[in-house]
Amino acid sequence: MYFYAARQPILNKNKELVGYELLFRDGLDNVFPEIDGSEATSRLIEGSQFNFGLEDLTDNKPAYINFTLETLLKGYPTMMGREQLVVEILETVQPGKRLLGAVQDLKAKGYTIVLDDYQHQKVWRHFYPFIDQIKIDMLTTDVATIEEIKEAIAPFKNIELVAEKVETHEQYQQALELGFSYFQGFFFAKPEVVQSKTLPPSEMALAELLYETSSVDVDLKRITQVFERDVNLSYKLLRYSNSAAFKRRAEISTIKQALVVLGNQELKKFLSLLFASQVSSEKPLELVRLSLTRARFAELLAIKHHKLKDTGMAFLAGMMSLMDAILDESMESVMSKLPLAIEIKDALLKQEGTLASYLTLIKQYEQADWQGANEAAKQLGLDPDLLPDYYHEALQWCDQQMEVMAI
């Protein structure tokens, strides 16, 4: 049996990661409502206990998991530690005495309780003393209703508001002004402002290296020269190549030796990671994490697909897919500054080509659009059942790289 799950980040006002909501489906074809909420929750908890390590999906942050009344009454939340779990009460659960008793019990045990996709009713007031967060859908809830909810919870200082489905920076700003404390959605994956930003010399050197390594036939002498004129880059290359991740028997002490030992594929990954982390220094760390995960996911798809001569192009396309958000400008402007292969630019600017197909599939998986991901995989001739393995491998690889680079 395959286990399908994706995650969506939840950030605070400083755009720092505070947790992930985990989204479950029983296979890519089996989307809601063909499986009820209780079964989905049961499978997700089972999977977290037996199929995979929860930390692989949450980076040791709390997991926001939906619970139905049935799963709450069965005590399923207590199968997970209170530090690991944030209990979300599904919007389909009606307020009543049994639910109130379950909430009071969980609260007494130290669990964090959230009302998901909240629909305002006065009867919920009985629950407010035990509720930590209320999630509000920003696409379906108007400002007047939000103000009404804020007035109702005003006496309860324990409750914080979470804005769901925040898709743009403008929606994020509106939620911030309305007093929300946490934000869930893909607002950080959009440009905040359309403006022009000049890349500093170190980042231009990285962009030059990305271009030099985008060719199948790499000019080692040329790449060595670029590294040798930048002390900071040289230090990071030697530190990376000597890290425990590669289990070297002897220490690498020269630029040329490091380049030869790493090889073109690992060098591309190193450069992409370094570029994204440097230019996103003032942006949410989640951007780097998502970029890395996309990059590795795309590379794994390309390796299995057998259609690209250089699968490193898929890696780079995945990494660059969030560069508009990282640099706060349009993708057109970003691509005009970076000397990347035309296939990568076509994928990011025109959504054309094989690379664009990989990115479409990846975005559908990230957003738990299992049906769309399934169809995209089939069109590429890939087995949809393998997508969860690729996703989990990409997450684990991302965590390892961020640890190696001390990001």
Which one, of 195, 192, 214, lies nearest residue 319 by Cα?
214
Residue entry with tokens 């089939």: 378
Q: Give the separation between CA 107 and CA 47, rounded to whole angstroms.
A: 24
Instruction: Determine the 3-state secondary structure of 163 from DSSP.
Output: strand
- What percent of the chain lies above the pLDDT cut of 90? 36
Task: For the beta carbon of residue 119, count every other beta carbon within 10 angstroms.
Answer: 14
Between β-strands 133-137 and 112-115, what pairing exists: parallel, antiparallel or unpaired? parallel
Paired strand residues for 223: none
Side-chain-side CA neighbours of residue 166 (13 Å)? 30
72-96 tens-digit pLDDT? 998 888 888 888 899 999 888 999 9
180-239 tens-digit pLDDT? 999 998 777 665 544 444 555 566 677 777 767 766 567 788 888 777 777 677 777 877
Residue entry with tokens 């893909």: 186
Domains with residue ranges and CATH for the chain: 4-189 (3.20.20.450), 201-404 (1.10.3210.10)
Paired strand residues for 22: 7
359-397 tens-digit pLDDT? 999 999 988 888 899 999 999 999 998 998 999 999 988
315-347 tens-digit pLDDT? 888 988 888 877 777 888 888 877 678 898 999
What is the value of pTM for the model shown?
Answer: 0.74
